[in-house]
Chain A
Amino acid sequence: MSKDRIIGLVSLVLGALTLVGTFYIKVAKMAVSMGDPGPRVFPAVAGGLLVLCGLGLLLKKDEPQELFMTKQQWMRVLRLFLAFVGYVLLLYLFGFVVATPVLLFVMMTMFSGENPVSIPVRVIYAVAVTAVVYVLFAVMLKTNVPKGILL
């Protein structure tokens, strides 16, 4: 199946699910004034639009397309995404001050690739950036940063 067909199928399914979901929106009669088409119209428009686009892409003539990314490149994306998921978990458990240097260290290692930066530099970078961001947000701007449930 060509890429555009897959995108068309995704759009069709998403649109159909949205249209079905629209019927489950509970509308209180008192909330909608006379003449007002109600809160279901726009989700239905979004769903209809996606179904229309899905059909358009499925019925369109196939065109040759460039490869977006190789399998190895997709694996790299997945690895970084998993690192992000891990960061969110660490934020939840230990908070910003512990999780952020870990993410910075890991990401610097990942991004520097074949010419890795020395470990002391990575550690200094991770700690220094965390400190600067913490001071900027938590101390100067007085905003909350994630605290962590275990600390």
Chain B
Amino acid sequence: MNYVLGALASLASPLCMALMFAGVISGIIFGAIPGLGGGILTVLVLPLTYKLDPVISIAFLCAIYIGGTSGSYIGSVLMGIPGDVASVSTVYDGYEFTKKGDPVRALSACTVANFIGTVPSMLVCMVACPVISAIAIKMGPWEFFALSFCAISLIVALSRENIFKGLMAAGIALLIKCMGLAPVCGTPRFTFGSYYLSGGIPLTSMFLGVFAGSTILLEYGKNAKADTSKIVKVSRFRWPGKDLAGNVFNIIRSWAIGLLIGILPGMGSGLSNVVAYAAAKSSSKHPEEFGKGCIDGVIAPEVANNASVGGALIPFISLGIPGDGSTALLLGALTVQGVITGPLMIRNYPSVVYMIYLACMVGALMVLIFEVIGMPIFPSILKIPYHYLYPIITVLVFLGAYVSSGNLFAIILTLAMMGIGVFMAWAGLPTTPFILTYVLGELLETNFRRAMSYSRNGFASFFTRPASCVLLVVAFAFIFYNLFGGKIKAALGKKKG
């Protein structure tokens, strides 16, 4: 209880409230603008938080996370282009309302649906985390290795279009993570005799280069700024009582889908909104209306993507395994602050953990208030000229890299990481396996080597412990199914035929 009160006291401080408010608004803006997204903003502000108290920093970053997840629907509804993958399915019906001249109905439904999705999922997170963490404390390095491996395998297996590219992204991230001094023994690896490389590639240089820097390069290269001339005017928020009342079951189902998908390591709002939309359509009494401006198809993805926030935070807080790309960035931010994540986080850093719970809920309330009051200015957010926005982002990218390491070499590394980011975009390598492997790489290696040192049976010990064995079997099954599942199905089909 003391920690809750302590977190509340920190939250109520003028600095924290001001930062959270700034985080929510800037998160919504970045989330709304196609091509940017809240993740990039998290990376950009990371160096700003170095001098702040970790508890206040995490409140600021959570506010950005919530604002970014919510803001993505603005682009979906007003332009038919999602600000972020979290609102891909919102486009199908949300944009139809804009075409019909009534965007306020869709925007208002999204605003309330976001709040309905976030707050209960955070309450579940508050209850579930201590329970899971208490069990996880009993886990050894075998289970932690298996869990991290399973998380990476699940997300790689999700790269359905081309599993080799998912694996390649994971391989590149692992290679980058291997640079510098090895964990456990401190042996230098791939440092090429450079003093600067002995610490490895700094997290900020990697994130700033691969995500923010490469986005700027590609946006300039493509020169394909969305046509904002057709964005219609938006009037004031309209309470969507009737729409919500007609969708009670849809909301509960979408919320449950969002929460469960959020909990699964590596998956998050990007998948949950698509699944919730498909579930809403398939169980609807009027599926033919979907895609033509059906409010059910707007509410379902927007409840689900925000329910994934609480879901994704459950493995993050209780196990130290990020639930999705955004929580992987949050994990990176906590690492920079010196917080050691994992099952002991609740015991060792209770003020940080309670701040995450409270900041997400208060952030959701701030988002609701801002979006209700500020709805008429939504079109202006989408009309922010890129030539004002991108130069500032660029300066923050380079300065952020410098601030994190205090030397120009970090900036040169950031430039190199931009090149890798552009290559990944060109090659179609998925980013989530990349972030997840980078963030979990050290955990994976440390636990693997510790487990091997502690056991007498060598690698077999991973399979003699039940939990570790189940997780590894699941991980291999996922990879195997995605590599050969199609061929096996085709062969069986031929036999039957």
Q: Name A's B-contacting residues (CB within 8 A).
A: 3-4, 7-8, 10-11, 14-15, 18, 21, 25-28, 31-39, 41-43, 45-47, 49-50, 52-54, 56-57, 60, 68-69, 73-74, 76-77, 80-81, 84-85, 87-88, 91-92, 96, 100, 103-104, 107-108, 110-113, 117, 125, 129-130, 133, 136-137, 141-146
How far apart sit A8 and B426, CA to CA, in the bound complex (Å)?
13
User: Is B171 touching A92 in the complex (CB atoms < 8 A)?
Assistant: no
Within the complex, the shortest CB–CB distance from A72 to chain B, in Å, comes to: 9
List the interface of chain B (C-beta within 8 A of A).
Answer: 47-48, 50-51, 162, 164-165, 167-168, 170-172, 174-175, 178, 182, 184-190, 213, 216-218, 220-223, 385-388, 390-392, 394-396, 398-399, 402-403, 406, 408, 411-412, 415, 418-419, 422-423, 425-427, 441, 444-445, 448-449, 452-456, 458
User: Nearest CB to that of B451 among chain A residues?
Assistant: A35
Query: Once the chains are docked, how many angstroms separate the CA of A117 from the CA of B388?
Result: 10
Contacts of B164 in A (CB 8 A): 8, 52-53, 56-57, 60
Residue of A14, A25, A32, A143 near B50 (CB, 8 A) is A143
A and B contact pairs by CB, cutoff 8 A, 7 listed: A14-B175, A32-B185, A50-B175, A57-B162, A76-B220, A77-B217, A81-B415
Do residues A137 and B403 form an inter-chain contact, with CB atoms below 8 A?
Answer: yes
Q: Which residues of B contact A38 (CB under 8 A)?
A: 185, 187, 449
List 11 additional contacts besides A8-B164, A84-B418; criterion CB under 8 Å: A35-B455, A41-B445, A43-B189, A43-B190, A46-B171, A49-B171, A50-B171, A69-B426, A77-B218, A103-B395, A145-B402
Given contacts A35-B453, A41-B448, A50-B171, contact A111 B390 (CB under 8 A): yes
User: Are A111 and B398 within 8 A (Cβ)?
Assistant: no
Picked from B48, B217, B395, the residue with its CB within 8 Å of the CB of A80 is B217
Q: What DSSP secondary structure best describes chain A's contact surface? A: helix
Report the bound CA distance from A88 to B162 in whole Å.
37
Alpha-carbon gap, A85 to B208, bound state (A): 16
Contact call A110/B220, Cβ cutoff below 8 A: yes
Using A11-B171, A35-B453 as known contacts, say yes or no to A133 and B399 having CB atoms under 8 A apart: yes
Residue contact B217 to A142, C-beta cutoff 8 Å: no
Is B449 within 8 A of A37, CB to CB? Answer: yes
Check if A88 sits within 8 Å of B411, measured CB to CB: yes
In the assembled complex, the CB of B276 is this many whole angstroms from the nearest CB of chain A, namely 28
> How far in angstroms is the closest Cβ of chain A from B485?
15
Distance between Cα atoms of A117 and B185 in the complex (Å) = 56
A residues less than 8 Å from B220 (CB atoms): 76-77, 80, 110-111
Residues of B near A77 (CB, < 8 A) are: 217-218, 220-221, 422
Query: Do B221 and A26 touch across chains, with their CB atoms under 8 A apart?
Result: no
Task: List the A side residues contacting B175 at CB < 8 Å.
Answer: 14, 18, 43, 46-47, 50
Chain A residue contacts of B449, Cβ below 8 A: 36-38, 41
The reply to whether B403 and A107 contact each other, CB–CB distance below 8 Å, is no
Query: By the criterion CB–CB under 8 Å, are B50 and A111 in contact?
Result: no
- B residues within 8 A CB of A130? 395
Judging by beta carbons under 8 Å apart, are A108 and B387 in contact?
Answer: yes
Residues of B within 8 A of A100 (CB): 395
